[in-house]
Amino acid sequence: MHTRRFTLVSSVLLVMGLGLLFLCTEALASGECRRKIKVSVVDFGTGADIVGTATLCINDKGPGTGVRGRMEVELLQPGDAYTAWFVYIDRPDLCVGGGSPGVCGPADFAGDKPLGVFGRFDSAVAGADGEEEFEGSVRGLRLSSGSQVWFLLFRHGPADTSDHSHLARQLLTPEDPNDGAPGLGNVVDGVRSVPVAGAFFPMP
């Protein structure tokens, strides 16, 4: 049986051993964003050498409770379709799916009460300069102390502008039946996405 190299949930293993640190944490006086955290975008070694920064804006009080984020990246493949995914792990210390305690893997995103959940954050077709900004929000979300937020960027190959149905699948789904067929991927088409970069925010 063929085993694919990456899936949306198994790609989270790439964060282990990277020793990521916060680059900047600041509070905004305007009240627009109670806490803003910036980190570097990490390239996953697929040959693109993607670089950039990512920002997570956290509002944990009042009517504006929720999170917003942005990922600014360079060196994307012009004309390719990309999706950005928001991943939340409430208790990463309980993860066992990666083979050892505290290491998250596919099993930690499955079952009746998964430790990790994910949803589409944004999408784009890369322009000629290979630079794009991905941003989105999750209103009402609350982040637990010790939790983790990840932004994952996936490449879906050349945008299929001749087939609008396929283009929609490229920009709206993981194109991975392992994550849930048929809604998240077509079994006949198989896997058509590769994780290429990410940003990781551990919550104090």
φ and ψ of 170, to 5 deg: -65, -40
In a domain, 26, yes or no: yes
In a domain, 33, yes or no: yes
Residue 14 has pLDDT above 60, yes or no: no
In a domain, 20, yes or no: yes
| Domain ranges, residue 53 | 11-90+116-202
What Å distances lie between residue 186 and 78, 154, 165, CA to CA? 25, 17, 12
Rounded mean pLDDT of the chain? 83
Residue 185 has pLDDT above 80, yes or no: no
In a domain, 102, yes or no: no
In a domain, 108, yes or no: no
What pLDDT band is residue 7 in, cutting at 50, 70 and 90? low
pTM, 2 dp: 0.82
Higher pLDDT residue, 88 or 34?
A: 88
Q: Which of 189, 181, 185, 188 is nearest to 154 (CA)?
A: 185
In a domain, 95, yes or no: no
In a domain, 193, yes or no: yes
The number of folded domains in the chain is 1
Residue 41 has pLDDT above 50, yes or no: yes
- Give the distance between the most distant pair of CA atoms in the chain: 56
What pLDDT band is residue 193 in, cutting at 50, 70 and 90? very high
In a domain, 1, yes or no: no
